Chains A and B, each alone.
Chain A
Amino acid sequence: MLRSMLNRFGGMLIVMALVVTIVFVIVRVTPGDPAAVMLGPDATAADIQSLRDRLGLNASIPEQFLSYVGGLLRGDLGQSIFLNIPVGQALLERAEPTFFLTVFSLLIATAIALPVGIMSAYLRGTVFDQAMTTLAMVAASVPSFWLALILMQFFAVRMGWFDTSGYGGPGASFAERMHHLVLPAVSLGLVSSALITRFTRASMLDVLNDDYVRTARSKGMSEWRVVVRHALKNALIPILTVIGLTAALLISGAIVTETVFGLPGVGSLIVSAVLRRDYPVIQGALLIVAGLYVLINFIIDMLYLAVDPRVRY
């Protein structure tokens, strides 16, 4: 068992090394020049060259790669060219809106998906079930930025209930900041509720057909107790897995949604870093996001190993 753990750990290291290389290659073949963006429209070619020298952009690609990997090994993600602060700090400063946006979207998605999914499974084949299944499919077909714009138009501009963009000014209270997250979280939550609804419905269907549920019914238990106490309890593991999966998918959604609502999160940082050619920030963000994913996968594998020693890699 120790051997397979070590094997798996080695595999993870290889994957991380590949991730680092992929990120570096993608970012460095990207055309465009951060120096020209910073110096403004009337800068001379000589000015741009001297800034490139200072930023280390004129070093050869292998040299840049070595110094980048060297930095990573020391835990240094580099310095943002445009923001002039360490990349780690830039990412940390942006973590809060993204974190809460993800949490709220998940809460909204789950709050919609669980009851709807359970009811659909229970009322399988009825008009309600068909309507909800169709609705879930429609929700999964809507581009999230489109929904975001429509919500913004109606609730922020027309009704004036929310600000259209931003995350509150200097010294904004926690409540004010969260208020800015309502529309983004609703638009993301609605779209991601589709997947969870379908999974909940399917898992519940499975369980409702199982023997022990039938037994519980035959014992004369109330329907409510059968569904919630027995069926839901057993369907919960796959449902939780899909909720976890959705959380990982939300970072993609956050990129677009944060941009639409001008939220200063990790997603919008990545988009603006791409537009400004802020190489270290793009590298750092891609690396952290991908690294977290690899790490979570590794932990899950380890848990499976611990639970079931027959699993071998």
Chain B
Amino acid sequence: MKIVTSLIAASVAVLSLCSVALAQAKGGVIDVATIGEPPTLDPMASTADLVGMVTQHIYETLYTFDKDWNTTPLLAAEMPTISEDGLTYTIPLRTGVTFHDGAAMTSADVVASLERWMRIATRGKQTAEIIKSVEATDEATVTITLNKAYAPLIALLSLNNSAAIIIPAANAEQDPLTSFIGTGPYMLKEQRADQFIQLVRFEDYQSIDAEPNGYGGGRMQYLDEIRFVPVPDPNTRVEGAVSGQFAYADSLPVEAYERLSGGQTEPLVLKPFGWPAFIFNTKEGLGSNLAFRKAVQAALAPQDMMLAAFGSEEFFTIDGAFYPDNFAWHTDAGTEVYLPEGDVEKAKTLAQEAGYDGTTPIRILTSRQYEFHYKMAQVAQAYLEMAGFKVQLDVVEWATLTQTRTDPAAWDIYISHSPFLSEPALMGVLNDTSPGWWVSDAKAAALDAFNAEVDPDRRVELFADVQKIIYEEVPLIKVGNFNALAAQSPKLEGVTPASWPYFWNAYLTE
């Protein structure tokens, strides 16, 4: 029996997705080690990736992303019909979808949920400014009317953090949310803070009748139970994976790569995962001077920063473009000022031009929540000092950092990172109010043109202009691309490497 199953498992691996339904046995429980306790199980109420990762099993959105980061229907029956002027979106809904409490999902639930999203969610509130109305045309159709054409709308509705999830209309008034009821393939059974979040299969789940495709397509429910276990210490996550305690362990330090091979667990590399960035305070202090920002850009050596932060070339690439070449958005526009080795002389000249006095310290704000932030800060300090800058590293706790960065008087540079978002308009730096406060006429012009354009090919061209403006005005410095490391048990199959790992479609073999 064992031999047969493993033979089947092997042939499945070879045949890939062709014979999905045949080989995977239902059943099994997995423990997934996450980076901590999510602050809430309401993905509307938080933009944290961790919240999205856990709750995407419980709730669903109208649209989601396929494996190529295109938007694809989830609770919607198909892609929306968009009027000529780009102002009216008609969204047909799937019928026969039920919530975990047994009630059928209707257009009334969708309208109530989207209204809650516009009222509560950070991204929803921003979008609300351009949404004129959300109306139920009939039981299974919803119409969204806009004030002005806004191409990123469907991508926004597809995101899983600050997410436009669909919940029963009866719960939409709750804030904070207390009934965790969605339409997803798994439902919440028990949550014990800092111990586990236990999800069990939702037996009445209605999957889309199609092959799985990224977050979209069919969602299979092989596993009986998924338990998310918060393990804040990265080292403990590694040890737990190595000893076989966790079927999947998220976000591991790249140094652990070797240890993960050949035992109870295997390394899983998501490449490329995202990009770290040094974000300037363009509102006050040193960073409000463009020549200064350019001087810092010239002083830094991305090559060494990435090596120190990610250990080996397998885990990073040196790339100035905001999207790697497997994305349609990839372009080299403006990246000639991205210098892998840095240029000390150029930096010194620019610093002089900027009138830098040689004594005011550059205050770099960072934390050790993400060890690679801190390591890049250390290397950056060394290079900046070589170019004649004074540097003050402010290493604080994450809770302090998220507060301090909202104060323009308190910092000059802070370190952050972002996954490659399917929709460039969602990049934090493009938002005028996000810490850094980059505002300029050139930015507004390029961005307005980009957001109003509906034609996908034209948008790709317009994004090149956006990227060029970023490199001209240097509101941030992109350091490179990095890969993420996770670990999974060899018995766990069907997990696709993803920015927000998901475990429908996953199954256990013997």
Contacts and interface: CB of A to CB of B under 8 A. Distances in A.
Q: Do chains A and B touch in the complex (CB under 8 A)?
A: yes
Interface of A: 31-34, 36-45, 47-48, 82-85, 90, 93-94, 152-153, 156-157, 160, 163-167, 169-170, 259-262, 264, 268-269, 272, 275-277
Contact of A34 (B40, B243, B245, B399): B399
B122 A160 contact: no
Interface stretch (B70-78, B192-200, B303-311, B324-332): B192-200
A14 to B, nearest CB: 33
A168 B190 CA distance: 14
Contact of B236 (A36, A43, A83, A165): A165
19 contacts: A31-B400, A32-B399, A36-B402, A38-B45, A39-B45, A41-B402, A42-B123, A42-B162, A43-B122, A44-B126, A44-B433, A163-B243, A164-B243, A165-B233, A166-B195, A170-B189, A259-B233, A264-B192, A276-B39
B46 interface: yes
Contact of B122 (A31, A42, A84, A276): A42
- The DSSP consensus for interface residues of chain B is mixed
Interface string B125-163: 110000000000000000000000000000000000110
Contacts of B231: 165-166, 262
Contacts of A90: 193
A157 B260 CA distance: 12
Given A40-B48, A165-B233, A170-B227, 18 more contacts: A31-B403, A34-B399, A36-B402, A39-B122, A40-B122, A41-B416, A42-B122, A44-B125, A44-B126, A44-B434, A152-B239, A166-B195, A166-B229, A169-B29, A169-B227, A262-B232, A264-B192, A268-B194
Contacts of B451: none
A156 B236 CA distance: 11
B400 A32 contact: yes
Contact of B162 (A40, A163, A259): A40
B402 A33 contact: yes
Contacts of B416: 41
A275 B248 CA distance: 25
B399 A37 contact: yes
Nearest to B123: A42
A156 B46 contact: no
Nearest to B50: A40
A157 B243 contact: yes
Contact of B399 (A36, A48, A165, A167): A36
A83 B48 contact: no
A36 B245 contact: no
A34 B49 CA distance: 17
B193 A85 contact: yes
B28 interface: no
Contacts of B189: 170
A178 to B, nearest CB: 16
B397 A262 contact: no
A156 B239 contact: yes
B118 to A, nearest CB: 13
B244 interface: yes
Nearest to B235: A149
Given A83-B193, A269-B194, A42 B428 contact: yes
A277 B37 CA distance: 14
A182 B226 CA distance: 26
A38 B397 contact: no
Contacts, number: 139
B7 to A, nearest CB: 28
Give chain B's interface residue range (CB within 8 Å of chain A): 35 or more
Most buried by A among B122, B227, B229: B122
B31 interface: yes
A261 B243 CA distance: 14
Interface string B367-399: 000000000000000000000000000000111
B51 interface: yes
A48 B435 CA distance: 13
Interface string B27-53: 001010000010110000111110100
B240 interface: yes
B242 interface: yes
Nearest to B418: A41
A37 B402 contact: yes
A60 to B, nearest CB: 19
A153 B242 CA distance: 11
Given A156-B243, A262-B236, A276-B399, A39 B46 contact: yes
A251 to B, nearest CB: 18
A44 B196 contact: no
Interface string B193-228: 111101000000000000000000000000000010
A260 B51 CA distance: 24
Contacts of B40: 38, 84
B174 to A, nearest CB: 12
Contacts of B240: 163-166
Given A38-B46, A164-B236, A32 B194 contact: no
A160 B434 contact: no
A272 B48 contact: no
Contact of B47 (A33, A41, A84, A259): A41
A86 to B, nearest CB: 12
B218 to A, nearest CB: 28
B406 interface: yes
Nearest to B428: A42
A164 B240 CA distance: 5
B176 interface: yes
Contacts of A34: 399
Nearest to A277: B399
A93 B126 CA distance: 39
Contacts of A41: 47-48, 402, 416, 428
A166 B227 CA distance: 13
Contacts of A157: 239, 242-243
A217 B496 CA distance: 77
Contacts of A275: 397-399
A34 B46 CA distance: 13
Nearest to B369: A275
Given A42-B428, A44-B122, A262-B233, A164 B400 contact: no
Contacts of B242: 157
Contacts of A276: 39, 399
A307 B385 CA distance: 70
A167 B232 CA distance: 15
Contacts of A84: 40, 176
Nearest to B48: A40
A83 B123 CA distance: 24
A90 to B, nearest CB: 7
Nearest to A37: B399
Contacts of B122: 39-40, 42-44, 47
Contacts of A167: 195
